[in-house]
Every structure is written in C-alpha cells, then in structure tokens.
Structure 1
Amino acid sequence: MRLYPEQLSKHLQAGLAPCYFIYGDEPLLRQEALDQLRRAARAQGFDERYRFDADDGPDWDAIFDASQSMSLFSSRQIIELALPEKLDKTASDRLRELLAQSHSDLLLLISGPRLNQQQQKTAWYKALAAAGPVIPVFTPDARHLARWLELRLRQHQLAAEPDALHWLTLAFEGNLLAAAGEIEKLALLNLPQPLTLPALQQHVQPHYHFNPFQLLDPLLQGKVKRGCRILQQLRQEGVEAGMLCYLLTKELNTLQSLHAALAGGQSFQQAAAALHVWSSRQPLMQAALNRLKGPKITALSRMLAAADAAMAGFDDDSAWRWLQALCVGFFDDKEPVILP
C-alpha cells in the first residue's frame, strides 16, 4: 500500500500498521513522517525504541537481538532501521526474515534513500510493501510545490494571494526545510491576511535549492527560462560544470540514439526499451525528439563538447557560457547561438 505524507494523519486514525517504509530524498518530509509515527506509537504504548543506522552496514545480529528482547518496563517496542543505498543478497534475506517475525508489540520504522524502478522490483522491496504502507518522500516539483505551500500555510492559519503564492514557489523550490521555517516565522508576525506579495518580499528571505538532475527535464520540455534559472543557481551553489557536462552528455547521447533508431524504422517504444529509458522519462524524450531534429541534436552535442573542452583547460567561465548557450539551444529546432 502506497501512502503519501499528507495522507498519514488520516491513516493513523485507524491505528498503526506493524511496519512502515519511508523512502526518498526529501529530509523534511522524511523527518516529519517519522515524528508523526513515533508520536502515534507512544500514544499506543510503544515506549522503548532502538535505532540502527546504515553508515557501516546494518548490524543484523544486534537488530534481531533487539527485536526478540522485551524490557521489564515496556511490553511494546519500536525498531528504526535506516537502509543503505544498496542491499546485497545477505541484507535482503535478513530484512525479509525480520519482516516475517513482526508481531503486534513490535513496530518497524524502516527508512531508505530514493529508489529507482529496478529497486522497486526487488524481493526485499516487495516484502516491505506487503508488510505495511510504503511512504515516498520526494521534493515536490514546480507543479506541486504551490499546493504543498498552500497546505502548509493553512496549517498555520495563513493564506496568500495568488501572486504571493507563486513568488513563494520560486523562492523555496527544492528547499522545503527553509520554506517550513519561514512559514513558522510568518505565523508569529500576525500580518494581515491573505499575505500579499509586497509583505512576503519584505519579510521572507528566498532559499531555493536545486540538484543537477533537476536541470534535465525543463530542457527536454523546452522550458528555457526555467532551465537557465536552474543552471545559474547550480553555479551559485558550487556545483561543478563537469558534473553537468556528464549528465547532459548521457541525455544527448540517448536523444541521438533514439533519433537514429527512429530514422531506421523502429518505433519509439521499441527504441526506448532497447536503450532502457525509464517509462516515466519516455514522454519527455518523445517531446524533445518532436521538437529537436537530428542536426540540432548534433549541434547541441558540439556545444557540450566545447564546454567539456573548456573544463579540461581549466576555463570555468567559458564552460558555463557554453552550458548556458546549450540550455537556450534546447528551445526549438533553430540553430543555437554560437558564443565567441
């Protein structure tokens, strides 16, 4: 059963499941979900808690010892387990063994990193999904962030005018932790409601944050302004141009391979499957191919090669200029502007 963070409160009204798996890369949503589950567990008599981190690999013997021991002072206990990035066969087997031993006086709170589609097909993930709710905690993208902010404001008896809410989405994209803190501050100021854009600009400090992977989708969609804004912020945050060159090279190579396959008579579905393009990314790739023809993709690849060469020559400024021109070049099938 998949359960989203905003659904957790209603779910807990019916009682606790024996196991919860919280996975994803959004620290605020992960921490809030864990805190909510801990509070619900304490209210139901789970007074003893053991925590096991995955920094050096789970100590399975210690985990099983804890799961089978009962304190004189508590008859119900929580075991929190943070999974590593990858689980080998031994860890997978031990995890499934632990899940099989679950009982009403033991609550398992298991957390993990963001999982790809292949990991969600593994035996250990399926065992977790069968044992209790799985709760994905991902940073809302630009389309869903406004809704998240609106709900967060409402929790603090606040509201914002449409243009003010839009400004908040730009000011805190990718940084929910900072957004939550600023909203808490706003609740203490007793400002007139609904909040206006001038009021927010006066009292709120923007704290947006992007990761390199967030640059890719806007470019494939032809959203140049957004792509350039993300690129500029990534540079300000200290992201290496070389990392972006690597990610963009993979993306352009995939586009070139798809274009060649289509030109050779394959269907898009056949070509995407052969190149192992995730189903969630196939619409983006198809949209990009509809907009960008073969010569344009080749031109973009040459620009990327120029950025990579500038990096090799320790000319960071030129590399970033090439990357910006590359972002603009994704707009349509016109020839990209060549920088001097």
Structure 2
Amino acid sequence: MPETPEAFLRRLERQQALPPVCLIAGEEPLLQREASDAWREAARQSGFSEREVFDVDSNFDWGRLNEAAASMSIFGDRRLLELRMPNGKPGNAGSRAIQVYCSDPPDDALLLVTSNRLDKGARESAWVKAIEQAGVFVYCWPLPLDKMSQWVRQRLERAGLKPDSEAVELIVERAEGNLLAVDQAVERLLLLNGKGPVGADNAALSLADSARYSVDDLADAALNGDLPRAHRILEILEQEGTGQPLILWALARDIRAAARLSAGADDKILYQEKIFKRRSGLLKATARRQPTHTWHRLLRRCHEVDCAIKGVPGSNPQEALRALVSRLARAASRR
C-alpha cells in the first residue's frame, strides 16, 4: 500500500536513515511537489549533495540508470539520482532497469522517481512493487471535497494565520478544489496582511484578480442568457491567450451536466463534473428549464467546435466557439 504524503512527511521528520529508493506519484500537483521537495531537503541534510536528473521520454536510454548506479561521483560526494517519468510508463526495458536497480541499490546514492497519475495496474506493477520493497512509495490522491475546509484551515494556521470560519469557507469556495490556488492565496495573505487574524474581507482581497476572467465566468454568463457579456468575456479570454481547448472544455462540461440533469439525474453528477456549490444553483435552474434534446443538440455543437480546433479543413475555431456561446446563451434565456 502506498503511503500518504502526510505519513511520508512524518516519516522524514523522525527517520535518521533515508530509504535508498522513493517513488512519489499522484494526481495532486501541490502535494507531489511538496513531498518531492521534502525528500530532496532530507537527502541534502543527510549528505547527498550531488544531484543528477534523468528526464524519461520515449527515447530514453535506460542503461543510463544502472550506469549511474555503478559509477562513482567524480568528487566523491554522495548522490541523489532523480528519475522524472511524467506518464508513469517505463515500458518493459524501464521496468527491468528499475527492478535491477532496486535489487541492489548503491550505498552512495538515493533514487527519487517522480510521476503523475498511476492507474491501478501501474500501482500494482512489478517496477512499483520493487520500489516498495526497496524503499517507499508515496501516492498523492486528490483531496476529498469534504476534507477541504480542514486542509485549508491547517494550511493557513501553519503559515501563522488565524482565519475565522467565513474566511476558510470563502477560500474553499473560490479555490474549487485547486490546492495550488489555496497555496497562492496563503502567500498573498502573508504579503498583504502579515501573520495574525484573517477575516472574509482579507481572504477576498487575497483571491481577487479583477484584471482577468475565468472560463467559468464565460459559462456563467452564457447560462444566465447574457449574450453581450458572454461575448465580451470570450473576447477577453482570447486576447489573454486562454487556450481554445480549455474554453471548450468548460462549456462542454456544463452542457453535458445540464443534459444529464434535464434527463433526471441527481445532483451527484455536479460533483462528478467538479461543478462546485457556487455555480450549481444556476446550472440546475437552467438545465431543468430546457428539454433534454436541446442540450444534446448543444453537445453535438461542442463536437463540431472540437473538430474545428483540431484543424478540420474549412472550419474556423474562433467563429465556431462564438457560435456555440451564442447558442448556449439563447437556449438558456428561453423560459
């Protein structure tokens, strides 16, 4: 069983000798980054001062890993070897190389393997089990929504801030499950407010970003039937360089959820689509005002926009997105 990041950090605090191999993977970038940074710092404090990084891609030569294990530092220093493997798929050659390394890790080196999401098969693969047997496997699962308030409060308090309940809930609502956004809010609060009490007004200021709109702002304007505002936000997003795939993703997510709600699905689908409380009321009200076939027709339009973005000849992705926003706003405005 993989360790949680919290258990891993506690291990580092109390353990003198570091395990020779560590795999840190998962689906929560902030937790992955902090666990990896903690391991690197623990390695540095233990005298592993030389660092060698390997970036794994489809052309990576896995012989380099075991060559590094067999070689000595030119300065005689102990080394931290870091294997960055974002897709978590070493292939047969990589799996064998990792297993060989783990069977007899060198005394003068530590190996840190980092990866993004690993599916169940990967988490139970031979190379992962070899790392677990030789060292430690840490997996950073997404934080459950019902744990978010507690996590935000602890994060603020660890930074020397004393938030009231309203401030915590405001940050939870605005962050919408994005731990990196919470981390940025904490940094801004420290900069703007210093350590000490934090109320909702302070929290709102730390989260404010009035110069920009988000893709959710665009979706909300369209769902409100406010076509001029929706077109204005779309133009600003395009001017700011927001990717067309991201804009389409947000619109398609809401349209897909609306189609399911209109067909009688319960509110659980909002959680599945990561549509948070702040937006759920608008989406439910709009979805149930229109027949299901209206939303299915809009979903087909989303597919057409996707094709345009991918470069289907004769299509214009900018015009296709604008037309989709118009159709969504008009559908939402019909009572």
Which bin holds the TM-score, normalised by the shorter protein?
A: 0.5 to 0.7
Describe how 1:116-135 pairs up with structure 2 within 5 A: 116-135=119-138
Q: Per-residue deviation at 1:92?
A: 1.8
Q: Once superposed, what is the RMSD of the aligned Cα atoms?
A: 4.5
- 1:20-39 Cα offsets, whole Å, 9 max, x none, are 11113443322221221111
Contact 2:161 2:195 in 1 (8 A): no
Matched residue, 2:19: 17
Matched residue, 1:70: 72
- 1:268-312 Cα offsets, whole Å, 9 max, x none, are xxxxxxxxxxxxx9x969xxxxxx9xxx77664344124445776
Matched residue, 1:83: 85
What is the identity, as a one-letter code, of the residue corresponding to 1:169? Answer: V
Higher deviation after alignment, 59-68 or 107-116: 59-68
| 1:145 corresponds to 2:148 | yes
Matched residue, 2:276: none
Aligned partners of 1:123, 1:324: CA distance in 2, in Å? 52
Q: Per-residue deviation at 1:239?
A: 4.3
Aligned partners of 2:305, 2:115: CA distance in 1, in Å? 38
Cα–Cα, structure 1 residues 211 and 51, in superposed 2: closer, same or farther, change >3 Å? farther
| 1:305 corresponds to 2:307 | no
Higher deviation after alignment, 6-15 or 106-115: 6-15
Counterpart secondary structure, 1:46: coil
Contact 1:245 1:304 in 2 (8 A): no
Aligned partners of 2:114, 2:328: CA distance in 1, in Å? 36
Q: Per-residue deviation at 1:190?
A: 5.0
Aligned partners of 1:149, 1:27: CA distance in 2, in Å? 16
Question: Which of residues 36, 48, 51 is equivalent to 2:50?
Answer: 48
Matched residue, 1:162: 165
- 1:174-204 Cα offsets, whole Å, 9 max, x none, are 5434432442342355558431111222344
Contact 2:79 2:109 in 1 (8 A): yes
Contact 2:19 2:136 in 1 (8 A): yes
Matched residue, 2:266: none
Matched residue, 2:227: none
Matched residue, 2:312: none
Counterpart secondary structure, 1:315: helix
Using the aligned pairs only, state the percent identity. 26
Cα–Cα, structure 1 residues 37 and 185, in superposed 2: closer, same or farther, change >3 Å? same
TM-score, reference length from structure 2: 0.66
Contact 1:5 1:137 in 2 (8 A): yes
Describe how 1:30-41 pairs up with structure 2 within 5 A: 30-41=32-43
Aligned partners of 2:38, 2:244: CA distance in 1, in Å? 34
Cα–Cα, structure 1 residues 249 and 157, in superposed 2: closer, same or farther, change >3 Å? closer
Contact 1:167 1:197 in 2 (8 A): yes
Aligned partners of 2:11, 2:300: CA distance in 1, in Å? 51
Cα–Cα, structure 1 residues 149 and 317, in superposed 2: closer, same or farther, change >3 Å? same
- 1:1-22 Cα offsets, whole Å, 9 max, x none, are 4222223321111242221111
Contact 2:9 2:35 in 1 (8 A): no
Aligned partners of 1:302, 1:192: CA distance in 2, in Å? 52
Describe how 1:1-340 pairs up with structure 2 within 5 A: 1-12=1-12, 13-15=14-16, 16-55=18-57, 57-71=59-73, 73-74=75-76, 76-85=78-87, 86-140=89-143, 142-173=145-176, 175-189=178-192, 193-205=196-208, 236=237, 237-240=242-245, 243=249, 300-309=295-304, 314-320=319-325
Counterpart secondary structure, 2:197: coil
Q: Per-residue deviation at 1:321?
A: 5.4
Q: Per-residue deviation at 1:146?
A: 2.5
What is the identity, as a one-letter code, of the residue corresponding to 1:43? Answer: Q
What is the identity, as a one-letter code, of the residue corresponding to 1:6? Answer: E
Counterpart secondary structure, 1:45: coil
Cα–Cα, structure 1 residues 63 and 323, in superposed 2: closer, same or farther, change >3 Å? farther
Cα–Cα, structure 1 residues 130 and 144, in superposed 2: closer, same or farther, change >3 Å? same
Contact 1:46 1:77 in 2 (8 A): yes
Cα–Cα, structure 1 residues 337 and 43, in superposed 2: closer, same or farther, change >3 Å? closer
Aligned partners of 1:20, 1:119: CA distance in 2, in Å? 16
Counterpart secondary structure, 1:58: coil
Q: Per-residue deviation at 1:79?
A: 0.9
Aligned partners of 1:252, 1:119: CA distance in 2, in Å? 34
Counterpart secondary structure, 1:118: helix
Q: Per-residue deviation at 1:248?
A: 8.9
